[in-house]
Structure 1
Amino acid sequence: MAYRGDEEYDYLFKVVLIGDSGVGKSNILSRFTRNEFSLESKSTIGVKFAARTITVDNKLIKAQIWDTAGQERYRAITSAYYRGAVGALLVYDITRHVTYQNVERWLKELRDHTDNNIVVMLVGNKSDLRHLRAVPTEDGQSLAEKENLFFIETSALDSTNVESAFQQILTQIYRVVSRKALDIGEDTSSVPGQGQTADVNPNDSTVNKKTGCC
Structure 2
Amino acid sequence: MATAGPYNYSYIFKYIIIGDMGVGKSCLLHQFTEKKFMADCPHTIGVEFGTRIIEVAGQKIKLQIWDTAGQERFRAVTRSYYRGAAGALMVYDITRRSTYNHLNSWLSDARNLTNPNTVIFMVGNKSDLEAQRDVTYEEAKQFADENGLLFMESSAKTGDNVEDAFLDTAKKIYQNIQDGSLDLNAAESGVQHKPMAARGGSLANDQTASRDGCSC
Instruction: Please give the TM-score of this superposition, normalised by the length of structure 1.
Output: 0.83
| Paired residues of 2:27 and 2:38 also in contact (CA < 8 A) | yes
Shift in Å, 1:72:
4.6
Contact 2:15 2:88 in 1 (8 A): yes
The answer (yes or no) to whether the contact 2:31–2:38 under 8 Å persists in 1 is no
What's 1:14 paired with? 14
Q: When you count helix as a share of all residues, which structure comes out higher?
A: 2
Higher relative strand content: 1
Structure 1 residue 182: Cα displacement: 10
AA at the equivalent of 1:11? Y
Does the CA contact (< 8 Å) of 1:37 and 1:157 recur in 2?
A: yes
Aligned equivalents of 1:119, 1:182: Cα separation in 2: 10
| RMSD over aligned Cα atoms | 2.6
Q: Distance in 1 between matches of 2:102 and 2:142?
A: 15
Corresponding residue number in structure 1 for 2:43: 43
Alpha-carbon contact 2:46-2:69 (below 8 Å) kept: yes
Query: 1:68: which partner in 2?
Result: 68
8 Å contact 1:19–1:72 — kept in the other structure?
no
For 1:132, the aligned partner's letter is: Q
Alignment of 1:196-207 (within 5 A): 196=208
Counterpart of 1:119?
119
Q: How far is the alpha carbon of 1:46 from its aligned partner?
A: 2.4
Unaligned runs of 5+ in 2: 184-191, 196-204
In structure 2, do the counterparts of structure 1 residues 73 and 151 end up closer, same or farther at CA, with 3 Å as the change threshold? farther
Q: Percent of counterpart pairs with the same letter?
A: 46
CA distance in 1, matches of 2:180, 2:193: 13
Which residue does the alignment assign to 2:186? none
4+ residue segments displaced more than 6 Å:
none
Change (3 A) 1:180 1:99: same
Query: What are the superposed Cα offsets for residues 2-29 of structure 1, whole Å, 9 maximum, x if unpaired?
Result: x687431100000100000000000000
Distance 1:175 1:160, change over 3 A: same
The 1:45/1:70 distance shift into structure 2, 3 A limit, reads farther
AA aligned opposite 1:100: Y
Which whole-Å CA distance do the structure 2 matches of 1:39 and 1:176 have between them? 36
In the aligned structure 1, how far is the partner of 2:129 from the partner of 2:31?
Answer: 17
TM-score with structure 2 length normalisation? 0.82
Q: Tell me by how many angstroms 1:104 deviates.
A: 0.6
Alpha-carbon distance between aligned partners in 1 of 2:134 and 2:182, rounded to the nearest angstrom: 44
Name the CA distance, whole Å, in 2 between partners of 1:58 and 1:66. Answer: 25
Q: Which is bigger in relative contact order (C-alpha 8 A, separation at least 6)?
A: 2
